[in-house]
Each structure stands twice: as C-alpha cells, then as structure tokens.
Amino acid sequence: MADDSTTTIRATFETREAADLAVEHLVQQHGISRPDIFIQSATDRNSAGSAPSGGDASHDEGARRDAPLAGEIEVSADIAYSQVAAVQRSFRAAGAMRVSSR
C-alpha cells in the first residue's frame, strides 16, 4: 500500500525572483497545483525580499531603492510525503537559504 500522506514544506529565499523560480519548479517539475503553493513574507513586514532582483536591480542608475526589502520570502506547499526529497532539491537549486518540512 502506498503512503499518500502529505506534509508541509517551506523554504526561504533572499529575493522574490528566486521564490518565483521555486514556484515554477514546483508546478512544472513536480506537478503541484498553483493553488496549493503559498508565497508570503517570512516576517511580519511587507517585503519583496532582502536583496534587489529582477526589475528592481536592472535600472541604468543601479538598483531601485523604493522596493520594500524588509526580509526574506517564504514559499510553502502541502506535498505528498514521497515528494519531500525531490522538492527539497528543487528549492535548493532555486536558491533557497533554508528548507524545512513538517
């Protein structure tokens, strides 16, 4: 009998760009439905990450200074227990600073 139990996996990222890449990995490589994936600030403050990335970093005058860079971004999803190791590898490949599951 297969183990179909689920667990919540979480990862924190320094930039929104890395968090978005992790979400794409979850959807495209692991078949996780977008409504089952959550992205939020890892702290109680509004944040786009702790470092400029993407459009915030690509201006002629240097990185924008008006982005809310107040902390890390957390991506979490409820996944099948059998997917934990593969999803952890995907999170790390996308640049996760920390990965945990419970």
| Predicted confidence (pLDDT) per residue in 28-50, tens digit | 999 999 999 999 877 766 555 54
Q: Is 14 or 3 the better-scoring residue by pLDDT?
A: 14
Distances 12 to 2, 33, 40, 94 between C-alpha atoms, Å: 30, 20, 10, 11
**CATH at 89:** 3.30.70.120
Q: Is residue 81 part of a domain?
A: yes
Phi and psi at 7, nearest 5°, equal -145, 155
Residue 60 lies in a domain: no
> Residue 93: inside a domain, yes or no?
yes
Cβ atoms of 22 and 38 within 8 Å: the answer is no
Domain assignment present for 56: no
Q: Domain of 30?
A: 6-49+71-101
Amino acid at 31: G
* Domains held by the chain: number: 1
Please report whether residue 58 resides in a domain: no
Whether 66 is covered by a domain: the verdict is no
Instruction: Evaluate if residue 1 carries a pLDDT over 50.
Output: no
Asked if the structure places residue 37 within a domain, the reply is: yes
Confidence grade of residue 65 (pLDDT, cut at 50, 70, 90): low
For the beta carbon of residue 11, count every other beta carbon within 10 angstroms: 28
